[in-house]
Structure formats: C-alpha cells, structure tokens
Structure 1
C-alpha cells in the first residue's frame, strides 16, 4: 500500500504528545548577500533550491556531514509515479540530544517534485530487497521531517519542520534545535550544494 506521507506527517504534527519543531524560514538569497562573499556572484532560484533538496535526500552523508556518518547512507526501492518519487533511506545519524553518539535511522522518503516538498517518515524496521531486516537504532524517539521550498522562484525560502514521536512533548529535543534556529549562516547542505554542485567559492563574513 502506498503511504500518504503528507497526511502521516500532519497527523503526527498535530498529535498532542509529539514534540514538534519548525525552524525559521531561511531567505537564502538574503543570507548570501549579507553574510557571504560569493564568486562568481549567485542568486538561488526556487528550482535550484529544490535541486539541492532532491540531491540531499539521496545522499545525506554528502550534504549533511555534520549529522550523517560518512559512507553510511543507502537507498532502496525507488519508485516514480508522476511527479512523486518514493524510496527508503537508511543512514547512521547523530542523536539530537547526544551528538557524540550515532544511531541507525530508517526513513520512508517522498519527493513531491510538483510542490517541492520532501517528507521523511521514521520507522523502526525495513526489509531490504536482499532479505535483510534492518532495524533503527536506540537512543531517541522516531521522528518525521519535512524539507520544502517556499517563497517564489526569484526569492525562495528554505523550510524545515520536524516532529518527534514522543508520548509527551520533550523540551530537551526542542532545545537541541536552538542553535540551528539562531544560525546566521546558511545551513551546511546549502554550502555544500553551492561549492560542490554549483561551483561557487564562498567566504563567510
């Protein structure tokens, strides 16, 4: 049965016991203008920002090296149906409240290319095509993520929501995202995309 990723995410987001975090929208071109010297000069379009999200979804260890253990990411069972693309992603990720430790994270991913929304639904286990039963690591609750592109084509916004499947809201998990919420520079995956895919030289001011 095909998952309705958006509905599952919203149900968890609205549930009274879960721990939900919505990071402030990032106007990427404003941050580039105010916080970086970029050569050659560059401004993101919405299409280019979605290209970053698409690439990041399939190679999180490249685009989020501060979170995902290098070489640990793999994807399975990619299926395309119209503007939707589904696959399962497995990687070793740092724990949100204990970043010195890693745990295996299994996510059912949907890329909605038409609406530029990417959903990642955490799950406890997954049967790989070769018959292996993969299981999620311990140490934190399962979580669902939405990454998306907002704004318009000439002034896109980088959007990020995450909901942890807790029984009661957990202030420690919310606090773990405070640094990201207050970041003055672009998030690491944007810097990687700019340097490695778009060939820009970035110097932070």
Structure 2
C-alpha cells in the first residue's frame, strides 16, 4: 500500500482515534486577526510551499511541538508528482506535552494535489546504518496536511489518526486548544515571518 492508502485504512479502522481539525481559511484569519506589513494574502501555491518546507524541517516550523535541533531528514526520492523521504525527530506527546519521544515518519508529498502524508513507524534503519526506534508513551499516529480551496482563498487542512484499539478521548481532548485557537497555526506564522519577510502583530 502507498502512503495515502495506509492513512485512509487507519482512518476507517474500528477503534482508531481520529481527529480532523476545522479547515483554516488562512487569508480570512490574516485579515481579521492580524496586522501584516507589508500587506499579504496567500495563494494556494504559497501555502503549499509552507507545507513542503515544514515537512523537511519540523523543528523550525513547529517549535511548540518538535525539540529544536532534533529533526533529521533522510534522502528524498522524487518520482512524478510524488516526493518521498523519512524524518525522525523528538516531539512532545500529544496528551502529555511535558514529555518528548522519538517520532519516525515516512513522508509522501503529493505536489500535484497538495497533500502531505506522514506515516508513523516503530523502527527505521537509516542509510548510514543507524537504527531508530520510536519512543513510547503514546500510540503510533499518521497525519495528513493539505491545501484545499480556490487558489486565492486557500484552506489549511489537518487530519490525524492514532492507531488505537479503542477510541481514546484523552488524545481527542489534546487537540482542543488547536480547534479553538483564533489565530493561525504556528507553522503559518513562522513561514510568513521567516520565509516571506512579513511582520505580524496579533490583534
């Protein structure tokens, strides 16, 4: 199975703990909740550029979750519209954010459809011979980040499925702050400041 099939099979599995965050209309949030200098509105292509950069360097774009300097990306392979690689990083546990664990993710970027899949794994042997083992404390999980909507009004979308035997409400509850956040997710703010040279002030 490919990355998308693995994700969708897990999403549909009885007992899995699945969370789909509300799609974020990025430009609408920018207009309503930020002062941006110089003025700016995302295109779908620019928002996908953010997803590609974030996939390769999660410690830069998700500093609230990924321990600084912990992310490693192993050689990517480009074939048609797809780009595949593996990344390993130290990430906060979803339901216990004071603790970190090693997270192994096999990544597929679908550049044509602007979908990124992150398939969690228990073990990975790197090309240099190092062997990584996923940390404990929570179930393996798979993630999909994607860009949807019209090009002048793109949506940031995020789905995550935890490979549980029974639905775990504590994992669902861990996403409440993100669901209720009035502002853009941290990785969009990082992209705007670091890559697009915008100054942001939250209102």
- With the shorter chain as reference, the TM-score category is over 0.9
1:86 matches 2:75: no
SS of residue paired to 2:4: helix
Q: Name the counterpart of 2:136.
A: 138
Q: Name the counterpart of 1:192.
A: 190
Alignment deviations for residues 122-178 of structure 1 (CA, whole Å, 9 cap, x no partner): 000001111121100010000000000000100000000000000100000000001
Structure 2-normalised TM-score? 0.99
Distance 1:42 1:77 in 2: 34
RMSD of aligned Cα (Å) = 0.6
Q: Name the counterpart of 2:121.
A: 123
Q: Name the counterpart of 1:48.
A: 46
Q: Name the counterpart of 1:99.
A: 97
Distance 1:116 1:147 in 2: 9
TM-superposed deviation, 1:77: 2.8
- Decide which of 152, 158, 161 is 2:159's aligned counterpart: 161
Distance 1:72 1:132 in 2: 15
Give 4+ residue runs of structure 1 displaced > 2 Å after superposition.
Answer: none
Distance 1:21 1:130 in 2: 35
Distance 2:114 2:171 in 1: 27
TM-superposed deviation, 1:55: 0.1
Where in structure 1 are there 5+ consecutive unaligned residues? none
Q: Name the counterpart of 2:179.
A: 181
Distance 2:189 2:106 in 1: 26
Where in structure 2 are there 5+ consecutive unaligned residues? none
Q: Name the counterpart of 1:58.
A: 56
Structure 1-normalised TM-score? 0.98
Aligned pairs, number: 203
